[in-house]
Structure 1
């Protein structure tokens, strides 16, 4: 760990009135610039009205014939959990029945609670665990609730507030990984123990410890796979790091057994007695090497030393990645990223092997799995592209028949615009894909206000989602939107991610700047018209690019960012990301981290664009101190910088629609001021 002086470390405090006053003063300055702009209030209202449009798709999870949806509106700012039937949903009926009112629950308890999820017991789905978080953070409590009576279960399961992992095992037992205060936690603040909690009389539930990870572990999780109506398997994941883990089988006697999978492998699903495994490293098994990037079907019997044959379902390829996997009653469905567009494959178990077939779904944009009703062949998915509003589809995987259940209303007239995939050449000669969304009649004179968005980390792909509010409030005002698919992300499999992992992180910064240079070189835009935006790891990306190449950009939107790379492991969940960035406790890695750490690389003599940093006091994942200290250091060096810190929403923006609309309106007003005025 570097011992460089940190004159702004005091801003890391989360309970100091002096810090609170400093944040309030920064917010006031920012609001005086952005909220006072005459465009802000009507823009915020337009965005809010769009969010509350009843034609928006109410996504759902289906359980025992009921479709459950979480809904927010002006009457329910925290939200309600409601349900309807498939027939009513298909008829576009608004006949919803409220089964859980978060506003009422929070008011009765006098708490700033937001819904963090509702976990149904699959085989008895009227029983749920309701997860409630303070201010929208990652940590939550979990209480058992009966949807039929719309009430808390008397003497039911109740688990304290924390970064817990809790999963139903059956209607009368749960697998619990405690993350609450007083439980043994990892350095990252995540659970280290797995317990089986079985329902007892008068709330005297029986606790049995199943597993304890060592103190150097990152976290543990446990869950039950259901394989048809009668089959099941209980599993523990013990993670040593973000990408390194060991899976343990829990047997009928509640003993655990490690499975001989490689550390960099993810179990994506379990069906017909076989694990569906995605490899991030080569794996030699039974005298055969399976390459990184492969998706395999691995029989449980094979891992336990009995007979069984591993079958490759998807082979690695240069422009291909496995995005996600879902199972139906009979099939494995794989969502592939093929040259940064989605396509689906189904695999059916017939005559002792898996057989692949394509599914009749769109392949020109991005697909996400939305729901899979248990013990059925139905799969619901969403599809969109930059200019096509999201549609929700219900597909029978067995027959290929499908219906479009809902289509999102168009936020703008897309006929005037075009989206194209382009390629930039990085400094090491690698081709980097990016997408440009612009007006068809754009003049390539360097004068188009352009927003470049990126992420470049954690093997997360950037995909061509519908631009929605940016279409109405950016494209239609003459702007262009660009999405960069840089290394560090998951667009092209594990190798694409690993090329910018650890001390190689600056590769992603160079890729992003190469895209910026390509945009300028094409005549689309110029440095005075180019802005960049990113959140979380993407916040690190845009801040690092601003510090390294300030002459390329006029606007920087840096959201819930990671910026102090020498202290990040000491702040909240930061230690869990050592696999991604490197360890500042190691002198060699600390030198590499310091060399690009935005907080440490600021220079008084440089000329930076005016940046907008946003964060949340309730962010319990990436500490708000990162953004605070960056702003303080810039101001101390004589550079203007704006900060907006909200008091709700956490890292993921889990707050009300009013706050969501306000945050987006501020970003847009900032971009107008920097790039259009």
Structure 2
């Protein structure tokens, strides 16, 4: 939604590529089809199709771990394979789930649903209505995406008849947050018209929708300023703690949380950059900067806990349950019935700490893994009288297939499912290294390479990075990466190398690591990535000609700045679903919501620094000899409604017009911001990127 800013705009020259902003404009789509034809003619050959087949085979494998969510006596799972392109939503019981061949009850067959309705609908999640005590779950709200994007339709489903409810709740396609208040009332935040939509394209208000009402008849119970990112309210149905929880997202990192009980809205008074979490009687606070509260400093990156009633009454905070140091950060937490489980990163390697919810919150640390692995934990069902203290644990690493375990706090863990190896990882080793960035900061990165790697610069290397929104990149087993990249060998027998960069802007070392690369300091993320590239060359792992890089979304912006700011370091780059036009990004798709990360280009003094990391403008501001630019694949999807395809189109068109002939562009129609809608489209998306990079680095 394009509206006039309240700020004076900087002087803008005529944009010769503005015609590409019409996402479905015939002229723009003709250009897209022309570029797709050129790219596919070069890449989509027999070798490419074999790569697609190999990746799809591991994605479609029948012996993948079916991850589940427990509701009542059932364990729910969404599944896609070769026979079910759009997937199955299904459930089973515990004994069956533990067997080698679970007996699944299919709730919705989405391929069959597509046949009945004449078009594809993609499962985007379900919200079950909590039943009365002693009864079974009976109703669910099913989220359906028409194209893999963020917008969804919502339909009511009967879990007993296994049919969509005739004349039941049905919401139109939009960016929607919905929850059950009771069997006949929903809380709905939906962006379907200008009045109810923020500049960031999210919902501005939440309505109480009664059965039989239309949306315009529903009462507004919560709303926020249209300049804010969004406003949402959902119903917390936890027995004994029923309430409406409100969230006013002012920007990406500042928000206000409150509760509505018996019609009274009680704001939880904390600085807007403190993340607030509610669970039963507790309220937890995660400050992003140091918070002075009642003469106590609650450090940035820590976690504090309080009784909600006491905090609302007099601001009492009971205890700090986590305080970071220079090497550790809080990754996530989960509650069982009697414990709080924390996942902590120490130099980007996972540890788990268990806190008793008894007075004083005594804690123990689970034994750390002796490898560079990622460990995550999650409660199974903290309301189950028999399994309330049970938790899931998943363990994964670059060369270690994922293992799912279940345990009870204080007891031994049991392996429930293990994923088999999907590629030959024998001979590979995972190591961690640190590069020194321009300002002297030590930046970690993981390297997956053959043991005894020859350090002579002849190894093909793929770097991967993100560096934004406090998102941490940790070791994980990827069958597609292993099949599509790590299994490759050069004619000389050299095995492909993979590098994961933990640059600033991410969350690997907590809020400070993220904030170090915000707005006018954005260049630090790019300096970090460049420092790792230089370190790989200095260590003689590779050379510029054999070094490739990839990134998507904010990682696509990272790639754009590697193309324009550090072209001398890379032989090839794959730049996916990217931000690239930072002068227009706030006016395209959901871009306005990211001002807190990048700055506001409508404010002249902010545009001054934003322009220095706007790849579309750096092409003109910092011109390089044509031969200096790496071979570049820029790609998006027509249905991406988060970043949109516009910025990718404009960047590719400008590069080609400048004579940078080693630029290629690709834009499938469906896939949304994820880039794919099913296993086949995922395989084709990944194979296109891997094939481009591999061929470019030979």
Give me the TM-score of the superposition, normalised by structure 2: 0.92
Match status 1:345 vs 2:353: yes
Question: Could you tell me which residue of structure 1 aligns to residue 629 of structure 2?
Answer: 608
Which range moves more in the overlay, 4-13 or 363-372?
A: 363-372
* 2:255 maps to 1:245: yes
Q: Which residue of 1 aligns with 2:292?
A: 284
Q: Is the 8 A contact 2:335 2:382 kept in 1?
A: no
- Separation in 2, partners of 1:388, 1:304: 46
- The question of 1:623 aligning with 2:633 is answered no
Deviation at 1:515, TM superposition (A): 0.4
Of 576, 582, 598, 1:559 maps to 576
Paired with 1:611 and 1:510, the residues of 2 have a C-alpha distance of 20
Question: Quick check: 1:366–1:464 contact (8 Å CA) kept in 2?
Answer: yes
Conserved? CA contact 2:209–2:215, under 8 Å: no
Mapped to 1, the partners of 2:365 and 2:205 lie a distance apart of 42
Cα gap change, 1:579 to 1:97, in 2 (>3 Å): same
Distance 1:203 1:191 in 2: 17
Matched, 1:116 2:133: no
The structural deviation recorded for 1:139 is: 0.6
The Cα shift of 1:672 comes to 1.8
Contact residue 604 and residue 638 of structure 1 kept, 8 A: no
Residue from 375, 378, 381 that aligns with 2:390: 378
Where do 1:217-232 residues align within 5 Å? Answer: 217-225=228-236, 227=238, 229-232=239-242
What CA distance in whole angstroms lies between the structure 2 residues aligned with 1:242 and 1:286?
27
- How many residues of Structure 1 are paired with residues of Structure 2 in the alignment? 669
Q: CA RMSD in A?
A: 1.9
Alpha-carbon deviation of 1:362? 4.2
Find the partner of 1:29 among 23, 38, 60. 38
Tell me whether 1:82 sits opposite 2:82 in the alignment: no
What secondary structure, in the 3-state scheme, does the structure 2 residue paired with 1:411 have?
coil
* 1:545 matched residue in structure 2: 562
Q: Match for residue 538 of structure 2?
A: 521
1:277 & 1:176 partners in 2: Cα distance?
A: 26
Cα deviation for residue 86 of structure 1 reads: 1.4
1:16 is aligned to 25
Could you say which residue in structure 1 is the equivalent of 2:3?
Answer: none
| Cα distance, 1:257 vs structure 2 | 2.2
Equivalent pair of 1:341/1:363 in contact (CA under 8 Å)? no
Structure 1 residue corresponding to 2:605, chosen from 588, 594, 615? 588
Distance 1:304 1:237 in 2: 17
Query: Which residue in the other structure is 1:415 paired with?
Result: 426
Task: Give, in whole Å, the separation in 1 of the partners of 2:486 and 2:543.
Answer: 17
CA distance in structure 1 between the aligned counterparts of 2:476 and 2:237, rounded to whole angstroms:
32
Q: What corresponds to 2:15 in structure 1?
A: 6
Alpha-carbon distance in 2 for matches of 1:433, 1:74: 38
Kept in 1: contact 2:125–2:142 (CA 8 A)? yes
**CA distance change for structure 1 residues 457 and 205 in 2, over 3 Å: closer, same or farther?**
closer
**Aligned-pair CA distance for 1:63:** 1.1
**1:122 to 1:356, Cα distance in 2 relative to 1, 3 A:** farther
The answer to whether the aligner puts 1:59 opposite 2:49 as a matched pair is no
1:212-259 deviation per Cα after TM superposition (whole angstroms, max 9, x unaligned) = 2112211012223455x433332101011000001121121x232221
Q: Deviations over 1:600-654 (max 9, x none)?
A: 1113634211101111111000010111011000000000211111111100235
1:184-211 CA-partner distances (Å, limit 9, x unpaired):
11101111112223446x9999833211
TM-score after normalising by structure 1: 0.95
Among 270, 276, 285, the alignment partner of 1:261 is 270
C-alpha separation in 2, matches of 1:204 and 1:384: 44
What is the DSSP-based 3-state SS (H/G/I as helix, E as strand, rest coil) of the residue aligned with 2:656? helix
The Cα offsets for residues 257-276 of structure 1, whole Å up to 9 and x where unpaired, read as 221011011123414x1112
Question: Relative to 1, partners in 2 of residues 1:172 and 1:417: Cα closer, same or farther, differing over 3 Å?
Answer: same
Query: Which among 655, 664, 682 is matched to residue 660 of structure 1?
Result: 682
- Give the distance between the partners of 1:560 and 1:312, measured in 2 at CA: 40
State the secondary structure of the residue aligned to 2:242: strand
2-structure distance, mates of 1:404, 1:265: 37
* Of 630-639 and 117-126, the range deviating more from structure 2: 117-126
Secondary structure in 2 matching 1:231: coil
Structure 1 residues 51-97: Cα deviation after superposition (integer angstroms, max 9, x where no partner): 11111111111111111111112332111101112111111214212
**1:46 corresponds to 2:57:** no
Unaligned runs of 5+ in 2: 1-8, 490-494
5+ residue gaps, structure 1: none
One of 349, 361, 372 as aligned partner of 1:354? 361
Match of 1:326 among 322, 326, 334: 334
Q: What SS does the corresponding residue of 1:178 show, helix, strand or coil?
A: strand
- Secondary structure of 1:214's aligned partner: coil
In 1, the alpha carbon distance for the partners of 2:364 and 2:140 equals 36
The 8 Å contact of residues 330 and 343 in structure 2, kept in 1 or not, is answered as: yes
Contact 2:583 2:611 in 1 (8 A): yes
CA distance in 1, matches of 2:653, 2:215: 52
Deviation at 1:168, TM superposition (A): 2.4
Deviation at 1:470, TM superposition (A): 2.6
